[in-house]
Amino acid sequence: MSEVMLRTVGLTKRFGGIIATNNIDLQITKGDFLGIIGPNGSGKTTLVNLITGFVKPTSGKVFFRDKEITGLMPYQIADLGVARTFQMPRLFY
Structure confidence by residue, pLDDT tens digits, 39-89: 999 999 999 999 999 999 999 999 999 999 999 999 999 999 999 888 777
- Looking at residue 87, its amino acid is Q
**CB-based contact 36:81 (threshold 8 Å):** no
Predicted confidence at residue 89, as pLDDT, reads 76
**CB-based contact 23:10 (threshold 8 Å):** yes
Burial string for 41-64 (b: 16+ CB within 10 Å, else e) reads eebbbbbebbbbbebebeebebbb
CA angle 79/87/84 to nearest 5° reads 20
Residue pLDDT, tens place only, 11-28: 999 999 999 999 999 999
Cβ-based neighbours of 70, under 8 Å, separated by 6 or more: 57, 60, 61, 62
